[in-house]
Amino acid sequence: MPPDGSTAIMGRSQTATEDSRIPHSHPDDTMDSEPAIPSTPTSESDFEKGDTSASQSSPQLSRVEAKMQSQPEKLLKSSADSTMTQRKVASSPQDEKKEGEVDIMDIPATVDIVWRNVFLFVYLHVFSAYGLYLLFTGQVLWQTVIWTALIHTCGALGITAGAHRYWAHKSYKAKLPLKLLLVFMQTVSFQNSIHEWSRDHRVHHKYSETNADPHNAKRGFFFAHMGWLMCRKHPAVKEKGKQIDMSDLEAEPLIMFQKKYYTPLVLMTSFVMPTFVAWFFLGEKFLTAWCFASQLRYCFNLHCTWLVNSAAHLWGDHPYDKAINPAENKGVAIFAFGEGWHNYHHVFPWDYKTAELGRYRYNFTAAFIDFFAWIGWAYDLKTVSDKMVRDRVRRTGDGSWRHEKESATLTEVTDSLASSMGMSHGGPWGWGDESIPLADSQMTQNLYPLID
Ligand SMILES: [Zn+2]
Ligand SMILES: [Zn+2]
């Protein structure tokens, strides 16, 4: 049962490495280990660098920040040059191949189904459907509905504000209390550990719409949405995943603790806690609590996240860069707490808002981060300047930018030039990636800097 009928089955042989890509032993875990969300393509060993003794902060991050301060003249280089450099960085030096050697990126994509995950997804959806039936037939207590909505919000923000904007993209900094809260919330979502989630997401940004993208949207809606979790990864996903710098996360004991004890932690927070509270404290029937607060809540959370990988990579405008697939999709923004402004996000992945349009407009996650910045738990919120946005719109946008007239008069770049300056695929994974154009780094604003 190919998840994506458009993809040819090449009969690639299965290796021991591929078999072991599901790192966790709990049955439900397998779903995530082929992560539930935008992540987990491979086994730990596939990506592990073995460098868990990295220094306090990522050397790469330090290098970039030092460069920003010590080489102002370089920052004056045009964004065009920088963008071209970025493209070069994205495809070298590891990507250079010797004569006669087949580039791993060119190996045809195959569909090699992982049946265990297929069965687990079927199980999840059957129980979720029953939970939905119970809701529509008035068999769920209103207290359970409120409790489930709370847990859903908690898990969703754990992904959007935690794994995504904080750890994967480093778009802001957080103090320990907020980190602890975000780790808890991210565990509730059961979308794989923060370390795995972030690694896969960085690969996704750097190699979007190529064979190294875990949920390559060019393989169709179903593959990008959930099909990729039901078949073995393309070898390029593993290969490029190994090259992603994860030293910053590996230097965080909290992240490595969550990774080490992920299975018991996720069982307690994502399944036992939601069910037990509804059953024991709210007086809900046990089966109803299980199907509604646990299974349906989890299933809904997964689909909301998956929409970012599928719908927001296929449908919508491209006001910032028409050469890439990610698009502005309001529907996805609503379901995914502000993650649907995906064209902007792939162009400026280090912006904590992941969007330009008003901080809170269909962007609950930005409001959440701003709240914690207001009470002092979040700081150094990165965002890009209006000028930077307009420059980019002018150079590579599709003309759909919100200020249509201004956009039209400012458009001086020809289509061919615009596309040549756009990202052929992917881009920087976030703040700290050396492929961020220096000019862009310089113009990035730091909101709520740390005072003391
Ligand atoms: Zn994306
Ligand atoms: Zn992202």
In a domain, 218, yes or no: yes
pLDDT of 426: 58
Alpha carbon distance 370, 352 (integer Å): 10
CA of 205 to the centre of ligand 1 (A): 6
CA of 325 to the centre of ligand 1 (A): 8
In a domain, 74, yes or no: no
pLDDT of 447: 79
* Proximal ligand: closest to the CA of 431: 2
Tokens of 199: 């690694």
Question: Could you tell me what percent of the chain has a pLDDT over 70?
Answer: 71
Count of structural domains within the chain: 1
pLDDT of 435: 74
pLDDT of 245 over the 90 cut: yes
Q: pLDDT digit string (tens) for 266-282?
A: 999 999 999 999 999 99
CA of 95 to the centre of ligand 2 (A): 23
In a domain, 89, yes or no: no
The whole-chain average pLDDT of the chain stands at 78
Q: pLDDT digit string (tens) for 372-428?
A: 999 999 999 999 988 889 999 999 999 888 764 444 444 443 333 333 334 444 578
Alpha carbon distance 182, 261 (integer Å): 16
Burial of 349 (0-12, 13-18, 19+ CB in 10 A): buried
* Proximal ligand: closest to the CA of 307: 1
When mean pLDDT is compared across 39-53, 55-69, 100-114, the lowest value belongs to: 39-53
CA of 363 to the centre of ligand 1 (A): 16
pLDDT of 409: 42
CA of 406 to the centre of ligand 1 (A): 28
Tokens of 139: 């068999």
Q: Which residue has the higher pLDDT, 68 or 284?
A: 284
pLDDT of 57 over the 80 cut: no
**For the residues 21-37, what does the mean pLDDT come to?**
34
pLDDT of 407: 44
**For the residues 306-320, what does the mean pLDDT come to?**
96
pLDDT of 97: 56
* Proximal ligand: closest to the CA of 168: 2
Q: Give me the half-sphere count of Cα atoms (radius 13 Å) on the Cβ side of residue 300.
A: 19
Selection from 301-305, 391-395, 439-443 with the highest mean pLDDT:
301-305
CA of 224 to the centre of ligand 1 (A): 10
Question: Could you tell me what percent of the chain has a pLDDT over 90?
Answer: 61
CA of 307 to the centre of ligand 1 (A): 10
In a domain, 308, yes or no: yes
pLDDT of 247 over the 80 cut: yes
pLDDT of 452: 60
CA of 66 to the centre of ligand 2 (A): 24
When mean pLDDT is compared across 131-140, 164-173, 365-374, 431-440, the lowest value belongs to: 431-440
Strand partners, 174: 378
List, in order, residues 6 or more apart from 363 with CB less than 8 Å away: 333, 337, 338, 341, 353, 354, 355, 357
Cis peptide bond prior to 93, omega within 30° of 0: yes
CA of 204 to the centre of ligand 1 (A): 7
pLDDT of 204 over the 70 cut: yes
In a domain, 234, yes or no: yes
* Proximal ligand: closest to the CA of 310: 1
When mean pLDDT is compared across 9-13, 153-157, 185-189, 369-373, the lowest value belongs to: 9-13
Q: Do 439 and 376 form a contact (C-beta atoms < 8 A)?
A: no
Q: Which domain holds residue 218?
A: 37-48+107-447
Q: Give me the half-sphere count of Cα atoms (radius 13 Å) on the Cβ side of residue 357.
A: 20
Q: pLDDT digit string (tens) for 327-337?
A: 999 999 999 99
CA of 427 to the centre of ligand 2 (A): 11
* Proximal ligand: closest to the CA of 354: 2
CA of 220 to the centre of ligand 2 (A): 20
* Proximal ligand: closest to the CA of 355: 2
pLDDT of 325 over the 50 cut: yes
pLDDT of 418: 35
In a domain, 194, yes or no: yes
Q: Give me the half-sphere count of Cα atoms (radius 13 Å) on the Cβ side of residue 63.
A: 9
pLDDT of 396: 92
pLDDT of 295 over the 80 cut: yes
pLDDT of 52 over the 90 cut: no
Q: Which residue has the higher pLDDT, 37 or 312?
A: 312
In a domain, 236, yes or no: yes
**For the residues 208-214, what does the mean pLDDT come to?**
95
In a domain, 96, yes or no: no
pLDDT of 346 over the 60 cut: yes
